[in-house]
Chain A
């Protein structure tokens, strides 16, 4: 029998989940309930499997262990196998396709650097915050502030050195386009697996199962919401609403006058897919953490790491807006949609990660 370790937090999160679910149902019908539930399941899955991007990339640089990063490419491979045909065949479904420009290059680098300072990417910050991590209690508010700053900067730089949207294999028939993108991603998976095997690191069943579950959930999000899963836009919207309530006129920013962001700023936070799923993810991770007793293990990290988490949060926030998302929205969603920006995001965020690790060594992260 399951013994709940933190009954107070568990009960509150359950109540919050049920109330949000009820409101989602009244406003968006089954779609609302399904997306909130998918968010909750994603939160539970990420926490249960400890599915990290930041640590996986760090493992490759520090320990020359490419195992975790290979799962990330397997995840993108499975997603692209479904994403590209679904996007191509259904006009109601859009991909995560963004321009290739200078802001993408700089923003992704900032994100990769910040990700190592905060010890988590967009999804990582979300599910570990949900599970009561002291570090993320600091990183998340700064992530939110940073992403609003990003909305101020983005309109000034978005057209600078822009090549526009570039979709890999766009001039080919849908089948060939899918095959090209799936092959590219599968090649990366196999390359990283090859090096992992050379180091006698076998495929771990746990992460393989986690990857497949997350891939299925991502495909369901695309089917039910009409766009790939994204984390950081929700943070941006939360920040803009808080700034606006404090009297800071974010509604005058060019970003918030573009039709999509304007719509979300003027309407309930529960009318935005990313926000709804983020709320679900926090609730899901929190519920699992309260069952397993993870909250009792939560402690504050050393002061230097806490300050770095705040700086990392700001960098990730600004970086996510400048580069059109995080590991989920830009890297996973982008590459799985066949967008070149997803690949450039990966390369630049990886370089940022390298410098982030140098910073970690200087600060003396434990």
Chain B
């Protein structure tokens, strides 16, 4: 199958999924998980010594 066609389908599906998720979920101001309290890694994992 043509790469371009599959790409186009994936992009459309991805966009629909983003819009669906956005419209069906509560919204907060932009943030990263590492900015949460007690986070000790960029992914938001808590620190051993801070637990």
Contacts and interface: CB of A to CB of B under 8 A. Distances in A.
Interface of A: 6, 8-9, 12-13, 16, 19-20, 23-24, 27-28, 31-32, 35, 94, 96-99, 132-134, 137, 154-155, 158-159, 162, 164-165, 225-228, 230, 233, 236, 241-242, 255, 258-261, 263-264, 266-274, 276, 279, 282, 286, 295-296, 298-300, 321, 324-325, 329-330, 333
B26 A266 contact: yes
Contact of B30 (A32, A230, A295): A32
A122 to B, nearest CB: 12
7 tightest A-B CB contacts, nearest first: A260-B44, A260-B33, A260-B36, A98-B41, A298-B3, A259-B36, A134-B3
Given A9-B8, A134-B3, A98 B40 contact: yes
Given A162-B48, A286-B11, A259 B39 contact: yes
Interface in B2-48: 3-4, 6-8, 10-12, 14-15, 17-19, 21-22, 25-48
Contacts of B14: 282
B12 to A, nearest CB: 7
A137 B34 contact: no
A298 B7 contact: yes
Contact of A258 (B28, B30, B44): B44
A132 B7 contact: yes
Contacts of B12: 12
A272 B22 contact: no
A270 B15 CA distance: 12
A366 B24 CA distance: 45
Contacts of B34: 94, 96, 227, 260
B3 A300 contact: yes
Given A158-B45, A324-B41, A269 B21 contact: yes
Contacts of B42: 96-98, 227-228, 230, 233, 324-325, 329-330, 333
Contacts of A274: 32
A99 B4 contact: no
A132 B36 CA distance: 35
Interface footprint category on B: 35 or more
Contact of A16 (B15, B22, B32, B49): B15
Contact of A324 (B15, B18, B43): B43
A268 B10 CA distance: 20
Contact of A31 (B11, B18, B30): B30
B36 A269 contact: no
Contacts of A16: 11, 15
Contact of B35 (A94, A132, A137, A324): A94
Contact of B40 (A19, A165, A276): A165
A263 B26 CA distance: 10
A270 B22 contact: yes
A233 B48 contact: no
A43 B13 CA distance: 20
A133 B22 CA distance: 27
Contacts of A226: 31-32, 35
Given A98-B41, A258-B44, A263 B7 contact: no
A23 B33 CA distance: 21
Nearest to A26: B27
Contacts of B49: 164
Contact of B22 (A9, A12, A28, A268): A268
30 contacts: A9-B11, A13-B11, A16-B15, A24-B30, A27-B27, A27-B28, A27-B30, A32-B30, A35-B30, A97-B41, A98-B40, A132-B3, A133-B3, A159-B48, A164-B40, A226-B32, A241-B21, A258-B39, A260-B32, A261-B44, A264-B33, A266-B26, A269-B18, A270-B18, A271-B28, A282-B11, A286-B11, A295-B3, A321-B43, A325-B43
Contacts of B10: 137
Contacts of A329: 42
